[in-house]
Amino acid sequence: MALLEDKVVLVNGGSQGVGAGVVRAALREGATVVFTGRRAEVGERFAAETGATFVRADLADPSQVRDAVERAITAHGRVDSLVNAAGLTSRGSLLDTSPELFDAHIAINLRAPFFAMQAVVEHLVARAAPGTIVNIGSNCAHGGPPFLAPYSAAKAGLAGLTRNAAHAHRWDRIRINDLNIGWTETEGEDAIQREFHDAGDDWRERAAERLPMGKLGQVDEIADFVVFLLSDRSGVVTGSVIDWDQNVVGAQD
């Protein structure tokens, strides 16, 4: 039996990158999928390709975050699972981050997941129904490089939020977990490497040479793990912040 048979899954930030991978994997496992994205053309093209439902939303606006949940419920009668996969990774250190950049990171990487979770949990509690939520975090929640100061702060907040919400709603049978992913090969990462690090066409190969497994994290592998966490096969696990990376936090040579 497919892992998400007869489930309605909302994926925030689902038009590209890890979010798009989760959309594909959830569909493959039998789910009805709604996904959000900012760019109408990209979202509509991906919806036509996959059969998922696209909702255009700017997740920096909390009202649009809640509206996306309501539109998913209107379209399919309910939402059973949520994945918060949207992320902003623009660079900034402690010394050069402006208030505007800091606020942008908090808006997308922390505030949007908060209010999406709020809306979905309200819906699940009103239905007296179990549900699952997976937040896509980052290993930067443990500290991160100097050029990702606001991003690291927001992702650390997301890890704490995950634990808090999971504890608060464990008796509602709503399981909430966080997947702290490492360096991952996505379209967005390609753009970031070129814009901020002067990377050439061979940056993936050069990066892979410096990594223990000889490759960056792969979207399809992450997506399969997210689907497992959304499904009943992950059992009772909740409040877990899982490091999904090839570097071991706290270890050293």
Q: How many CB atoms lie within 10 A of CB 44?
A: 14
Selected catalytic residue, list 3, 151, 152, 155: 151
- Examine the residue annotation and report whether 138 is marked as an active-site residue of this protein: no
Which DSSP helix (H) or strand (E) runs through 174?
A: strand 174-181
Distance (Å, whole) CA 133 – CA 253: 36
| Among candidate residues 230, 220, 218, the one with its CA nearest the CA of residue 84 | 230
53 with 34: CB under 8 angstroms?
Answer: yes
Task: Work out the angle at residue 189's Cα, subtended by the Cα atoms of residues 183 and 192, and round it to the nearest 5 degrees.
Answer: 120
Q: For residue 62, how far is the Cα from the chain centroid?
A: 17
Q: Which residues are catalytic?
A: 151
